[in-house]
Amino acid sequence: MRKILVFMLGALTSLCVSMGAMAQVKEIRVLLANHPYGDLLKSAIPEFENATGIRVNVESLQESQLTTKLTTEFATNSSSVDVFMTRPLQEGKMFYKNGWYEPLMTYDFSDYPKNVMSVSTFGQKSYIVPLVTEWQVLYYRKDVFKEAGIKVPTNFTELEAAAKKLNSDSLAGIASRGKGAAAVTQASSYIYNFGGLYLDKGVAVFNSKPAIDALRFYGKLLGNYGPKGVTSMSWENIMPLFQAGKVAMWTDASVFYGQIIDPAKTQVSAENVGIANFPAGPKMNSPFIVTSWGIAVAKQSKNKDLAMRFLEWATSKELAAKGMLANITMARSSVWEDPAILAKVNPGLVETRAYAAKFGNPLDRPYMSAVGEARDLIGELIIESINTRGASANLEKMAKEKVAKVNEILEDTGEYGK
Amino acid sequence: MKKKLVSTIFFYLLVTGIALVVLFPFVWMLASSFKTQVDIISWPPKFIFSPTLQNYQKVFGEQDFLKYFFNSTIIGAVSVGLSLVLGLPAAYSISRYAQKKLAVFILLARLMPGISFLMPWYIVFSRLNLMDSYVALILSHMLISLPIVVWIMSTYFSTIPREMEESAMVDGATRQYAFFTIILPLSGPGIITATTLSFIFSWNNFMFSQVLSMEKTKTLPIAVYNFVSYAEVDWGGVMAAAVAIMAPAIVLTMIFQKYVVKGLTMGAVKG
């Protein structure tokens, strides 16, 4: 028996040694998201491998799977990931606090807009290279507007009037996300334009008068003129409705534009689909413009030099230009200034981006490490407001409770007041 | 006579009603897998459409679903096989020697949320360089199948009269010999039940594969998500992949259904 054990141990050791020897080959492991830019990188990786001799083991995963996987690997301190795609607003703060991002000291960030960089930087150092931005816009049906003889709304009063006029049994006047936590990002621009915020310098303030007014307005719009069952709808549910011609206006992120004008995916012909700036509120017009995806080097990486080389390549201007041509709204500023590229990008996107890049807010959710919990809490307010068509007598009281809870979470994680 | 006719009609109405409710999602999925994206989202829903094989082309052409099928099959079959090798004698012992505590202990492994095993497993497997290996996935899936085998089989063995093996042992057979030559051949339906159920549970398992597998050993439930991208869902692809994944499970269940029901209720009236 003992002999067998000794033999097995010996075999195992030699196996480990031989595996160690194999690791001498220059190779890195990269985790990408199921995202058009991830697909683009994946197809371009062979070029990188040929040019550098570095072997890239690439995996692509759906976003929540990606987060689960990264979290498990990093938390157990036994990750072999070198480079990974990441969502700065959703997981950035938590990953940074846990020390999972490697600071990018040598990277040249001069080509990225300031408001975009604000979410990649902690203290003096930057940790994430922004890849893709998206901003809030108003999608509308040109044909429906023409028939009704009204203009595209530029402020909230006009928005409500248009929604009221266009709403009918077969057509929802307006749609926007109503499903609790998922709606938090889309309600953000409404709150900003009323003059409110989710968090102000690390303190929850979404029970302020402007924020409550905004939540009431959001509830009134969707409760009265939204599609049936809007409180269980996220973009997955609203986009098909819009594509089936059941919605007159839709406020959501710019990322969906490509899909609602693609004849292979929609019943509404592209010429009848319009895109416009998000309407102004009583206080200002500052729709969100967020870095939905970035890319980072893992702190636990054992091949940081190789990882940096990959990162430089993956975020290069050349690939960003390719991304633009594939209808991906890249974060780099220079690609939005190159006439040769812009000639091939949809003018609606160029215009709305120009506005948002200048006046937009870089956050679309409470920016904290426990984003998910805070979103659930705020989501309850949104649902309450929609269910009561904005007239809930409880909203102030509920908001006060939720603010207290979010502040408690902020204190627990040591982010309160920072 | 008239009364009988009414009750027959009522019976079939009820059956049709239940079948409609149960089958509707499945029919919807099947129909959608042959539709284009425009037809899938169209409202009112289209019941008559020109079918396309484009979605299946994506599943087996663009995506390497044959590889994922292979992975799921290997992992399911080997983990169930090993669970039978370990679980059948264990179940026999539990049944014959009334080792209740042991049985509960094994059940505990099944009752604990699977996610609590993931972190330790990840640490162990990554230190052993077993990440993305069949070994890691087979071992983890045995956590699902072993308790099923033990529990189904121990109740099953209890229904076989002790006298069967006792008479063999009186004639000089060892307990092991009696187990292999007398008890096992009598346990066909039970073994089939345990095998089918644990294979299907392994086939459908998402959580373990999500963390322990990578590109090489990706299993089917994970691969469905290849059609879910950021801000975009390819419903046709998802539906076609779901049909492809369900097909073997449905066929398996249909073939062994009568055993499964029999095996599950076996010993039900025994205290």
Q: Are A218 and A382 in contact (CB under 8 A)?
A: yes
Higher pLDDT, A91 or A21: A91
Residue A52 placed within a domain: yes
Domain B58-265: which CATH number of 3.10.20.310, 3.90.1480.20, 3.20.20.70, 1.10.3720.10: 1.10.3720.10
Q: How does DSSP assign A14-50, residue by residue? A: HHHHHHHHHTTS-EEEEEEESSHHHHHHHHHHHHHHH
C-alpha dihedral sign at A110, A114, A116, A120: positive
Residue A345 placed within a domain: yes
Same domain (yes/no): A339, A273? no
- What per-residue confidence (pLDDT) applies to B263? 64
B229/A76 Cβ within 8 A: no
Residue A1 placed within a domain: no
Residue A109's SS3 state is: coil
Q: Rounded CA gap, A357 and A238, in Å?
A: 26
Average pLDDT rounded to a whole number, residues B216-223: 92
Same domain (yes/no): A349, A207? no
DSSP conformational letter for A271: G
Check pLDDT > 50 for residue B223.
Answer: yes
Tell me the chain B residues in contact with residue A72 when contact means C-beta distances shorter than 8 Å.
Answer: 118-119, 122, 211
**Domain spans of chain B?**
58-265
Pairing between strand A121-122 and B232-233?
unpaired
DSSP conformational letter for A279: P
Helix B188-204 / helix B235-265 crossing angle, nearest 10 deg: 150
Q: Does A266 touch chain B (CB under 8 A)?
A: yes
Q: Which of A12, A13, A17, A61 to mutate to test the interface with B (most CBs of B within 10 A)?
A: A61
Same domain (yes/no): A78, A215? no
* Tokens linked to B142: 């045995």
Measured from the Cβ of residue B129, the count of other Cβ atoms closer than 10 Å reads 15
Same domain (yes/no): A128, A239? no
Same domain (yes/no): A256, A303? no
Residue A10 placed within a domain: no
- CATH number of residue A317's parent domain: 3.40.190.10
Average pLDDT rounded to a whole number, residues A313-324: 96
- When divided into structural domains, chain A yields a total of 2
Average pLDDT rounded to a whole number, residues A312-336: 94
Higher pLDDT, B45 or A165: A165
Q: How does DSSP assign A124-168, residue by residue? A: TEE--EEEEEEEEEEEEEHHHHHHHT-PPP-BHHHHHHHHHHH--
* Tokens linked to A45: 């990786």
Cβ burial, residue A21 (10 Å; 0-12/13-18/19+):
exposed
* Tokens linked to A259: 């899909």
Residue A9 placed within a domain: no
Higher pLDDT, A293 or B261: A293
Same domain (yes/no): A400, A254? yes
Residue A418 placed within a domain: no
Cβ burial, residue A209 (10 Å; 0-12/13-18/19+):
exposed
B210/A266 Cβ within 8 A: no
- What per-residue confidence (pLDDT) applies to B64? 87
- Flag the least confident range among A135-144, B169-178, B218-227: B169-178
Q: What's chain B's Rg over C-alpha atoms?
A: 23
Pick from B263, B104, B99, B92: nearest CA to B190 = B263
Q: Rounded CA gap, A218 and A95, in Å?
A: 32
- What per-residue confidence (pLDDT) applies to A413? 92
* Tokens linked to A249: 């206006």
CA–chain centroid gap for A287, Å, is 14
pLDDT in tens, A118-133: 899 999 999 999 999 9
Check pLDDT > 70 for residue B155.
Answer: yes
Q: Rounded CA gap, A230 and A238, in Å?
A: 8
CA angle A186, A155, A400 (to 5 degrees): 50
Enumerate residues 71 to 130 of chain A having a beta carbon within 8 A of any beta carbon in chain B: 72-73, 75-76, 78-80
Residue A295 placed within a domain: yes
Check pLDDT > 50 for residue A18.
Answer: no
Same domain (yes/no): A138, A191? yes
Enumerate residues 294 to 313 of chain A having a beta carbon within 8 A of any beta carbon in chain B: none
Residue A406's SS3 state is: helix
Domain C-terminal end among A359, A379, A400: A359
Check pLDDT > 60 for residue A56.
Answer: yes
Q: Which of A76, A237, A293, A328 to mutate to test the interface with B (most CBs of B within 10 A)?
A: A76
- CA quadruple A350, A354, A357, A358: dihedral, nearest 10: 180
Same domain (yes/no): A116, A169? no
Q: Are B116 and A72 in contact (CB under 8 A)?
A: no
Residue A336 placed within a domain: yes
Q: How far is CA B57 from CA A225, B68, B108, in A?
A: 41, 15, 43
Average pLDDT rounded to a whole number, residues A57-85: 92
What pLDDT band is residue B167 in, cutting at 50, 70 and 90? confident
Measured in degrees and rounded to the nearest 5, phi and psi for residue B219 equal -100, 170
Same domain (yes/no): A110, A236? no
Q: Rounded CA gap, A377 and A183, in Å?
A: 11
Same domain (yes/no): A107, A248? no
What region, left, alpha or beta, does residue A99 occupy, with left being phi > 0 and alpha being psi -120 to 50 degrees?
left
CA angle B26, B27, B31 (to 5 degrees): 120
- What per-residue confidence (pLDDT) applies to B96? 87
Check pLDDT > 50 for residue B208.
Answer: yes
Q: Rounded CA gap, A407 and A403, in Å?
A: 6
What region, left, alpha or beta, does residue B87 occupy, with left being phi > 0 and alpha being psi -120 to 50 degrees?
alpha
What pLDDT band is residue A17 in, cutting at 50, 70 and 90? very low
A72/B119 Cβ within 8 A: yes
Same domain (yes/no): A310, A251? no
Residue whose entry in the numeric block shows the structure tokens 């409550």: A212
Tell me the chain B residues in contact with residue A267 when contact means C-beta distances shorter than 8 Å.
Answer: 38, 41-42
Q: Are A81 and A301 in contact (CB under 8 A)?
A: yes
Same domain (yes/no): A231, A146? yes
Average pLDDT rounded to a whole number, residues A13-39: 73
Nearest CA in chain B to A72: B119
What pLDDT band is residue A21 in, cutting at 50, 70 and 90? very low
Q: Does A36 touch chain B (CB under 8 A)?
A: yes
- Flag the least confident range among A25-34, A118-127, A325-334, B169-178: B169-178
> Which residues of B lie closer than 8 Å to A, measured between beta carbons?
36-38, 40-43, 118-119, 122-123, 126-127, 129, 131, 210-211, 214-215, 222, 225-226, 228-233
- What per-residue confidence (pLDDT) applies to B219? 93
Domain ranges, residue A95: 15-133+291-359
For chain B, helix (H) and strand (E) counts, in that order, are 14, 2
